[in-house]
Amino acid sequence: MAAARYLIVNADDFGRSPGVNRGTVETFERGIVTSASLMVRWPAAVAAADYGRGHPDLSVGLHVDLGEWAYRDGTWAAMYEVAPLSDSRAVAEEVARQLAVFRQLLGRDPTHLDSHQHVHREEPVRSVLSALACQLKVPLRDCHPAVRYCGSFYGQTGQGLAFPEAISVEGLLRIISALRSGVTELGCHPGEGNDMDSMYRSERAEEVKTLCHPQIRVALVAERIELRSFRDLQVA
């Protein structure tokens, strides 16, 4: 008998804008999204948290927001920076502040941790968030042995060039068929309305279409892949 395969589909940037909120809700209610990561610094975070409290089946984690960078003229340039990534004290203070806001908005701890543009993959942010994940007993993206992360569902290359094939129905079907046994987290960035200043904008609406396409659920059933959320995990 083949080993079981479980899929967590996590929508990043929840709370970033009203359009991102709409896309996240659409893909949770009509598509395959099971979890979301909340950016607490933005005005739309209040509405996102309200929705999360009213829909306990949607697990909500903290999407730590320390800045955003865009690839322009051959280099990465800061669009905004919340805390210097090389300053462990500043990072720890900002993470603590964002966690406090999350708790105020949701009335509970996050079900998981990750970061905007994966800045926690490098030190000292990695150590700060790893320590917090251990304290909260929740998974940190790409750092927990029980949850494999897949970032292939993304409509741009590493240099910010358009890569629509990756977020097409066919592209997602290929990802699904290649999933290995165990638990995989699939990152996604749904959104509607193009109402934000970000390097990743028009691709969000295409993600919504794909994540809600009926062929995707059919494929999950055919592949015997079960949808899960971070709420379903028992983290030691």
Catalytic residues: 12
CA pair distance 208, 177, nearest whole angstrom = 20
Best CA proximity match to 78, nearest among 66, 67, 89, 65: 67
What is the secondary structure of 89-145 as a DSSP string? HHHHHHHHHHHHHHHHHHSS--S-EEEGGGGGGSTTHHHHHHHHHHHHT--BTT--T
Spatial distance between the Cα atoms of 44 and 231, rounded to a whole number of angstroms:
23
